[in-house]
Structure 1
Amino acid sequence: MADVLKVAVAVGSTRAGSINQSLAGALARLARGRLDFDLLPMRALPLYDGDLEVSPPDPLWDFKARIEAADGVLFVSPEHNRSVTALMKNAIDWASRPAGRNSWLGKRAAVCGGSPGTRGADMSQMHLRQIVVALGVEMMPQPEAYLQLGEDAFTPEGGFADPTVQRRQALFVEAFDAWLRR
């Protein structure tokens, strides 16, 4: 079997009971043995402020190091007001700084997200793609994963409750794995 690749996972919601936190966990279960997910500590970052670049906050260096050590990145983003969450944008901005130290540059990545709404966070994913491509991230073009997920979407063990969703997401994980190994 091929080596297990390390994936830095940026989840745009840190609240308890987050659908997207659960989605990241369910995908990690599907990826086990191929991809090792490292959930990034995005809550530890202060609100981006260019004045802080003179003496960046300590949590930034660990955050950036974990991205740089990863073979790829998975963005798991809910949708707030038809875009990415403030938490996600803040983390993206911090990892691209200070000038000349863009931790995203050259990383291969994929994006997915879930929402109780029928559109499944599609607009946030489109915006996220625009943001990170400008930072030098190579985004997996297909498959796209816009998931309509409710509170009953996951089993108590953390997997997908619906076998059809599980099969579709297993294909997403396989495609992501292949994208990282290209």
Structure 2
Amino acid sequence: MSVRILALVGSLRAGSHNRQLAEAAVGLAPEGAEVQVYEGLADIPFYNEDLDVEGQVPAAAARLREVAGSADAFLLFSPEYNGTIPAVLKNAIDWLSRPFGAGAFGGKPVAVIGTAFGQYGGVWAQDETRKAVGIAGGKVLDDVKLSIPSSVTRFAETHPADDAEVAGQLSEVVARLHGHAAETVAA
């Protein structure tokens, strides 16, 4: 049985280095793991309890919940926007935190990583993401971290998958997440 890891990327930009990291994670998944990069976060309306009515949930949000519900673990990629989590990623977490007590994160392992232009690689945003997803019910793996600084210069001419140091670190993150997920699935 393959462990399904759903990757959510907090950047919508076509040339996003976080998206490139997510794509690299797909290729670095160990045997027995499948990483799927979710497409469509831009289509999900901002969370509004008035929209979150059984049988009337917007199609884009319902699709996210359906895909996330079948995931065994989550790998969240967060850049840093003005010192915090991007709205699109926070919105996905909000939709997946509901219905209250039965959200898609429900005790599943979650790792949060990413890259940003600044010298700290987006750690503030990643910490805020860990906080939000933990409150939303995810089992945050606080010891599985990867924050890559200076993304604009580091990846100016090199895809993250072609950076040996980054590929090695990313491979370790995916392997550790897979291990936690496999334990959870087996329990």
Quote how far apart the aligned CAs of 1:35 are. 2.1
* Deviation readout 1:50-107 (Å, 9 max, x if unpaired): 2212332122221101111011111111111111100011111112224454122121
Partner of 1:102: 103
Provide closer, same or farther for how the CA distance between residues 141 and 100 of structure 1 changes in structure 2, counting only shifts above 3 A. closer
Partner of 1:4: 2
Equivalent position SS for 1:75: strand
Partner of 2:50: 51
Moved more, 98-107 or 54-63: 98-107
Residues 115-134 of structure 1 aligned to structure 2 (within 5 Å)? 115-134=116-135
Partner of 1:69: 70
Alpha-carbon RMSD across the aligned residues, in angstroms, is 2.0
Partner of 1:153: 155
Quote how far apart the aligned CAs of 1:130 are. 1.0
Task: Please give the alpha-carbon distance, in whole angstroms, between the structure 1 residues aligned to 2:97 and 2:8.
Answer: 14
Kept in 2, the 8 Å contact 1:10–1:39? The answer is: yes
Kept in 1, the 8 Å contact 2:121–2:147? The answer is: yes
Kept in 1, the 8 Å contact 2:2–2:32? The answer is: yes
Equivalent position SS for 1:10: strand
Equivalent position SS for 1:53: coil
Task: Please give the alpha-carbon distance, in whole angstroms, between the structure 1 residues aligned to 2:104 and 2:34.
Answer: 19
Kept in 2, the 8 Å contact 1:153–1:160? The answer is: no
User: Structure 1 length as normaliser, TM-score?
Assistant: 0.88
* Deviation readout 1:118-160 (Å, 9 max, x if unpaired): 110101111111111112210112231001223653887x652
Unaligned 5+ segments in structure 2 are none
Kept in 2, the 8 Å contact 1:153–1:161? The answer is: no
Quote how far apart the aligned CAs of 1:34 are. 3.4
Residues 72-87 of structure 1 aligned to structure 2 (within 5 Å)? 72-87=73-88
Partner of 2:139: 138
Task: Please give the alpha-carbon distance, in whole angstroms, between the structure 2 residues aligned to 1:94 and 1:168.
Answer: 30
What is the aligned-residue identity percentage? Answer: 28
Quote how far apart the aligned CAs of 1:116 are. 2.2
Partner of 1:171: 172
Quote how far apart the aligned CAs of 1:110 are. 0.6
Task: Please give the alpha-carbon distance, in whole angstroms, between the structure 1 residues aligned to 2:161 and 2:95.
Answer: 32
Task: Please give the alpha-carbon distance, in whole angstroms, between the structure 2 residues aligned to 1:101 and 1:68.
Answer: 10
Provide closer, same or farther for how the CA distance between residues 34 and 120 of structure 1 changes in structure 2, counting only shifts above 3 A. farther
Instruction: Number of aligned residue pairs: give it.
Output: 179
Equivalent position SS for 2:28: helix
